[in-house]
Amino acid sequence: MTAPRHALRVIKKSARIALRRSPAWKVGQQVRRRVGTGIANGRDTYVDSLLMPAAHGSAARVQYAAVLDGHTLNLQAVLPAGTPEAAPAHLVLVNGATAVRTEARLERTTAGELTATATVLLGAEAGGLPVNVGRWHLALEVERPGATVRLRLLGDGAPAYSGPTRPLAVCPVTGRRHRLGITPAGQLRLTVAAAEPRAEVLRIERSFSGVDVLFALYGADAGGTRPVVELAEQDRRGVLRHTAEPLPGDDSAWRLSVPLARVLDTSRTQTWSLRLPRAARGARPLELGRRGHDLRAPRQVFTPPKFTVRAADGTFVQIKPQYTRRGALRLVCTPRAPSTR
């Protein structure tokens, strides 16, 4: 790497660090948190003060609703007074003329409220409800003597998350995204979005001559012929291409064997990125990385251990896998100075 280019990278990195540590950045974070809290409080007031009284017993108030681990819907709602405690109940998801149902449990809390709870696995591929891409309105059906009553679910019941984790937004099986929200009328709604094309690193296996990267493809680029992965050196134009091999038992998973010992330049430090070229004209290549997780600080957790390979000329090179802030995988290769005795 030339001196001006290295100096430019150092300046950019220093500027990003200074910005994140500046008081203005912290003030902006506080403003965003306060705005989010104000919106949530206003939404709750709108539901409790206007929508619930106007429902006249035809709606249930959502206390808690969240999609955990990317495809498990958890719900708890307070039923209106007069609902039979022993009545069979079902959670209903409606999208146009399509409706799917699953059992809900009724129980009375210590405060005397009758609540309905449900835990639902989303996606037929994962063995759950067949909810496809689209917007699904949620309701409860309670069987009463002589009739079945459908109760709207009002409010979103969004929990306040804190700590090192956050909700996993992407289903690990299908790659679809599940997001809960409310309609303008206050009814709970589940939005299922199609899987975005991505290449997710599953595992990194090291060897004395190179590294094997196991990854899965989601979205439009999944399936078909064996993917060709480009090994691109950062700050240079050198690109090497290698064909991935399929993993037994999983049509979307692949193994890429990178023969680092044959391609390393032992006279300098090199940084390699792994990417898949896209078939669509003008589309950006997919970078192999870790994005399907629920961590707020993934770089502190997803740091694989360093290891050493022996290059073709006999030099030992230290390989340090690491992830960028956007989750892309990088292989930093540093030649080790020969020991002098």
Domains in the chain and their CATH numbers? 39-193 (2.60.40), 196-335 (2.60.40)
The whole-number pLDDT of residue 89 equals 92
Under 8 Å CB-to-CB from 185, ≥6 apart: which residues?
51
Q: What's the CA angle centered on 327, arms 322 and 329, to 5 degrees?
A: 40
Q: What's the CA angle centered on 239, arms 236 and 245, to 5 degrees?
A: 145
Both tokens of 43, joined, read 């939404």
CA distance 156 to 167: 15
The whole-number pLDDT of residue 191 equals 93
Q: Quick one: how far is CA 321 from the chain centroid?
A: 21
The whole-number pLDDT of residue 121 equals 93
Under 8 Å CB-to-CB from 321, ≥6 apart: which residues?
204, 211, 303, 304, 306, 329, 330, 331, 332
Strand partners, 250: none
Within the chain, strands assigned E span: 59-68, 72-78, 89-95, 98-108, 114-121, 134-144, 147-154, 177-182, 188-193, 198-206, 211-218, 228-233, 239-243, 245-246, 253-258, 270-276, 286-289, 307-310, 316-323, 329-335
CA distance 323 to 169: 20
Is residue 65 within 8 A of residue 75, CB to CB? The reply is yes
Both tokens of 329, joined, read 């995988």
The whole-number pLDDT of residue 190 equals 93
The whole-number pLDDT of residue 336 equals 80
Both tokens of 237, joined, read 């134009």
At residue 124, the 3 state secondary structure works out as helix
Q: In tens digits, what is the pLDDT along the chain, a chain of 341 residues?
A: 555 655 666 666 666 666 666 665 555 555 555 544 554 555 556 555 555 555 567 888 998 999 988 899 999 999 988 888 888 999 999 999 999 999 999 999 888 889 999 999 999 988 899 999 999 999 999 988 778 889 999 887 777 666 666 777 788 888 888 999 888 888 899 999 988 888 888 888 887 778 889 998 877 555 567 888 888 887 766 788 888 888 887 777 899 988 877 777 778 888 888 888 876 666 788 888 887 776 666 667 777 888 888 887 788 888 898 888 788 888 888 888 665 44
Both tokens of 55, joined, read 């429902």
The whole-number pLDDT of residue 91 equals 95
Under 8 Å CB-to-CB from 87, ≥6 apart: which residues?
106, 142, 143, 144
